[in-house]
Chains A and B, each alone.
Chain A
Amino acid sequence: MSNLWPEAASAHAAALDAVLMHAHLHMAAVFMLWLGILLVALWKGRSTHATGAPDDSVPTALRPVPACWPWVAMALVVAGDVVLLTTEALPAWHARMQPPSPQDATPLEIHVEAEQYVWHVHYAGLDDRFGRTDPARIDAGNAMGLDDTDPASQDDVMIDNLLMLPQGRPVVVQLKSRDVIHSFTLPEMRVKQDVTPGLTSRAWFTPIHPGAWDITCSQLCGAGHYRMRGQYRVLSPEAWQAWLSEEVALLALPDIGTRSGPHAHPLRAEAAHVVARGLPGLLGRHYFNALIFGQRH
């Protein structure tokens, strides 16, 4: 059991984890107190008589319950709930729902489109402008349906199942689904956002330390739901910039031909490899893990 708890690798993770932790402490306290009362009542009330009706002639060692007890217990529970909600849960959620302000740092915007069992990732490239997309242009070589006639699209990078993120900069992911409901989940970022077709959702977070993890889908999206796996990597800002420049430079090469899918870039090849692995891959899982997660452990 390598991980009993996913790493907390985003700026807001600590606040959400605190709510979760304190909720569990509150639950444990309530449960123990109440279980203690139950066990005392059972132990003191156990009857040595194997048969017959409850023997009322022998009083138990327990005194009658004072009428105020339940009210005290209830007040404690309510107080715990109110404190938890008002001091932690609601403020944490309100803060979470506040989009990053451009004053702090210009957020990096990334577009992700989900479809049965792929995460299509679209980066604006070096000009920070997204090219026009059109579903009619979607084909095997153009997963986002990018319009090549739009000047803004010239340096747009599209990769399936690979999300590259710079450390320390707020990220806003714009999410859409083409077919059914998916749920874009980055467990280590404490990000989970349903992606409902017909709606455009946004998820934002700031990665705080480098690493490589899995993107998971958290909403049943069909028989292949279990393999709707992507990868996300957090790089240092310099490394990320270098990666992006390299990707854009690759686009300029005339022999690439397609705008997405497996390319010469090692990360892309790896991502394509991840997608290709369905159930048969399970047999070689350990080899597979060493291959993909080797760098991590």
Chain B
Amino acid sequence: MTRARTVGLLYVATALVFLLVGFLLMLLMRWQLAWPGAPVPAGIAALLGDANAPGGVLLPEFYQQLVAMHGTVMVFLAVVPLATGGLGTLLVTPMIGARDVALPRTALLSYALYAVGGLLMLGSFLVEGGAASSGWTSYPPLAVLATAGQSCWLAGMLATSCGSTLFAVGMIATIIGSRGPGVTLARLPFFVWAQLVSAVLLLLAFPALQAAALFQLMDRIAGSSLFLPSGLVLGGIPLQHYAGGGNPLLWQHLFWFLAHPEVYVLILPAMGIVAEVIRAHTGRPLWGARAMVGAVLVLGVLSMLVWAHHMFLTEMGTVMSDVFQVTTLLVSVPSVIVVGCLVLSLWGQRLKASPALLFAVAFLPMFGIGGLTGLPLGMAASDVSLHDTYYVVGHFHYIVAPGTVFALFAAIYHWAPTVLGCTLSTRLGYWHFWPTVLLMNSIFLPMFVLGLAGVNRRLYDAGAQYALAQGFEGLQQYMTWSALALGVAQLPFLLALVTARRTEALAEAPALPFAQGDDTDVASAPSAGQVAPWLIVAWLVMLVGALLSGWVLLRTGQPEWPHTANPWWLIAGAVLTGASAWFMRQSPAPLAMASLPALAAIAMALRGLSAASEAGHAPSAHNAHALWFTITCTIVVMTVVACGAAIRAGRTPPSAHYVAGLRLLFGTLSLLWVVFSLVFLVG
């Protein structure tokens, strides 16, 4: 078994479990929405315990935990890992004619971090006060003031997101550096392009959330006020012992800078799956394959330029809202190209029905509805009516639930023979497909009705106290019955998995036939070992950039900005880390020796940290100190990791690529030290 198969199957199995967990959390929510205040069945009530559901009636606090954890589990632990770490790892290597993933240990580590992060988040249901309850968006100050579960959420998110970063590094390095002979970039299947762009988004967008999570952890644990403005009054009592001066909008910018691209990470692999399934069923190349690749690249770029359309109602100026409305509507162009090309690929072709094709084709109108309903949300004038209503819930669920999840089902039916060596029953597949497509729409279509009527989301009693939500009780119950039935409708799928017929013996690498020919592109491509350090450096730069963006946002408008520590400690750190990079140029010098100056730099930074705390410049005293601590500690940790890599490699003769990569890493760290010290010198 190749490492790609091991890691891929681990990802698939774990993500399917999380998918089930997310589904069950949703059923509890839907119970409460359909019959507010009615006790859940006795068995379930016993499971939830009196702290969450006394007498079987869900408490508002517990309901909000369900809301937050359903979203988190589905996005970060189920759908994205299934589509990228699972199917991406399993399918990309055979599609590019690679023997295995390029960086097997990185792949395993990424899975381990994902699993640990997921368990940490789920386990937080058991801590005092329960799991995170501030929505999957975790807006401060609410999230900062929340119970301990929120800290578990943040720590779990850091672990899971670091797993995503490592996955992205491995995936990009594999696609660039491990292609088989003949697999030029022009011949890469569309699925691989989609995975490549998704991985780039994961690599470059996640640092924003990682920075935000570090900041929020600082606020929660170190007592800083990065997201807490001055003058907070809780329940009539002024909040004590905090410095203030923070800005809640900083979180929203950082969070959505990740979370919008994250939506594209959900959808791009799905598009790739649907394209491959259609291609296999028509037996012809995709219509406009090049245009589709171009469109996916453009989608990737645009996805990082639209984040503030989630924030139109935060009193944003018209210039900024104009820019984000235009970029948001631009998204429709590449989306139309992709979906249009997929439809035209079906045009005039003989089609042989199969569960895989049905799910793939059903994806198209479902994604169409999800995408089109983004239009009125992306325009501020119509967003006023729809913002935070059920319309939004319907919109993104059409993208993810009938959209991406249908594509994932298509993938499982389609690739089970090649990946698992067994074929799923076609008859059961049809029994799975038709009820599923009907019920998915029964759940999500009414949400647009509710949203247009003005019913808000995240309401514990489904808005029962509001006049405009009156009369929708029947619709809410219909949605809940549909959700329950959707659960039952998955039985044929489980049955199909259990009764799958063993087909021919599995080929270790079911390589696709590639025309031999012009190979210069593949031959001249950098190897995975050469690519990976650059990817890590890109991630590092984005991470420190995101941290520094917090500095810029909080520094502006603050007349007082105290110095935390002597910035010369940092300059010395820069010089010493740079010296390490320079020593590594002298290749005979052992790496462990070369990393000594960097170790000294770490010592100097630690000295700076202790000097700051001796001077009373604790993170809780002022946001200047909090930022200084966060950024210094981040760079120190990265330097420690880099030194660890150097010392570890010092025992065995490392390859030239490894040394070059380390040199790059130390050089970048030195540069980041410099930038960081300059920022604090100027500040």
Name the interface residues of B313-350: CB closer than 8 Å to any CB of A.
313-315, 318, 321-322, 325-326, 329, 332-333, 336-337, 339-341, 343-344, 346-350
Q: Is A252 an interface residue (CB 8 A)?
A: no
Contact A187 B382 (CB under 8 A): no
Q: Is B60 an interface residue (CB 8 A)?
A: yes
Contact A220 B471 (CB under 8 A): no
Q: Is B681 an interface residue (CB 8 A)?
A: no
Contact A135 B233 (CB under 8 A): yes
How far apart sit A280 and B591, CA to CA, in the bound complex (Å)? 69
**Residue of A at shortest CB range from B280?**
A54
Contact B382 A20 (CB under 8 A): yes
Q: Is A108 an interface residue (CB 8 A)?
A: no
Contact A35 B381 (CB under 8 A): no
Contact B465 A197 (CB under 8 A): no
Q: Which residues of A contact B380 (CB under 8 A)?
A: 89, 93, 96
Contact A42 B346 (CB under 8 A): yes
Q: Which residues of A contact B46 (CB under 8 A)?
A: none
Q: Is A213 an interface residue (CB 8 A)?
A: yes
Q: Which residues of A contact B329 (CB under 8 A)?
A: 81, 84-85
Q: In the complex, which of the residues B282, B315, B456, B475 contacts A194, with contact meaning CB atoms closer than 8 Å?
A: B315
Contact B346 A41 (CB under 8 A): yes
Known: A70-B341, A191-B384. A229 touches B351 (CB 8 A): no
Contact B369 A31 (CB under 8 A): yes
Q: Which residues of B contact A54 (CB under 8 A)?
A: 281-283, 349-352
Q: Is A253 an interface residue (CB 8 A)?
A: no
Contact B458 A220 (CB under 8 A): yes
Contact B382 A64 (CB under 8 A): no
Q: In the complex, which of the residues A16, A77, A116 contacts B382, with contact meaning CB atoms closer than 8 Å?
A: A16
Q: Which residues of B contact A94 (CB under 8 A)?
A: 318
Q: Which residues of A contact B449 (CB under 8 A)?
A: 4
Stretch at the interface among B224-232, B415-423, B539-547, B657-665: B224-232
How far apart sit A223 and B61, CA to CA, in the bound complex (Å)? 5
Known: A54-B349, A115-B233. A197 touches B141 (CB 8 A): yes
Q: Is B361 an interface residue (CB 8 A)?
A: yes
How far apart are A271's CB and chain B's nearest CB, in angstroms? Answer: 13
Please, what's the 1-or-0 string for B569-584, where 1 marks a CB less than 8 Å from any CB in chain A? 0000000000000000
Contact A16 B470 (CB under 8 A): no
Q: Is B492 an interface residue (CB 8 A)?
A: no
How far apart sit A46 and B459, CA to CA, in the bound complex (Å)? 45
Please, what's the 1-or-0 string for A52-91, where 1 marks a CB less than 8 Å from any CB in chain B? 1111101110111100011001100110010011001110
Q: Which residues of B contact A179 (CB under 8 A)?
A: 141, 145, 232-235
Q: Which residues of B contact A5 (CB under 8 A)?
A: 452-453
**Residue of A at shortest CB range from B291?**
A70
How far apart sit A100 and B209, CA to CA, in the bound complex (Å)? 39
Contact B381 A135 (CB under 8 A): no
How far apart sit A17 and B63, CA to CA, in the bound complex (Å)? 33
Name the interface residues of B229-263: CB closer than 8 Å to any CB of A.
229-236, 238, 246-249
- Contact residue range for chain A? 35 or more
Q: In the complex, which of the residues A77, A181, A213 contacts B467, with contact meaning CB atoms closer than 8 Å?
A: A213
Q: In the complex, which of the residues A19, A45, A93, A283 contacts B350, with contact meaning CB atoms closer than 8 Å?
A: A45
Contact A47 B353 (CB under 8 A): yes
Q: Which residues of B contact A78 (CB under 8 A)?
A: 332-333
Contact B60 A223 (CB under 8 A): yes
A-B residue pairs, 5 tightest by C-beta:
A198-B229, A62-B348, A226-B460, A89-B379, A223-B60
Interface residues of A (CB under 8 A from B): 1-6, 15-17, 19-20, 23-24, 26-27, 30-31, 34-35, 37-38, 41-42, 44-47, 49, 52-56, 58-60, 62-65, 69-70, 73-74, 77-78, 81, 84-85, 88-90, 92-94, 96-97, 115-116, 135-136, 138-140, 178-181, 183, 185, 187, 190-194, 196-199, 201-202, 213-214, 216-227, 229, 277, 279, 281-283, 285, 289, 293, 296
Q: Can you list 11 residue pairs at the A/B interface with Cβ under 8 Å?
A: A16-B381, A46-B351, A53-B283, A64-B348, A78-B332, A90-B325, A135-B231, A138-B233, A197-B141, A223-B59, A226-B459
**Given contact pairs A54-B281, A64-B348, A138-B233, a sample of 17 additional A-B residue pairs in the complex whose CB atoms are under 8 Å apart:** A37-B347, A53-B352, A64-B347, A65-B347, A74-B340, A84-B375, A89-B380, A90-B322, A90-B325, A97-B318, A183-B387, A197-B141, A199-B229, A220-B142, A226-B460, A226-B465, A282-B465
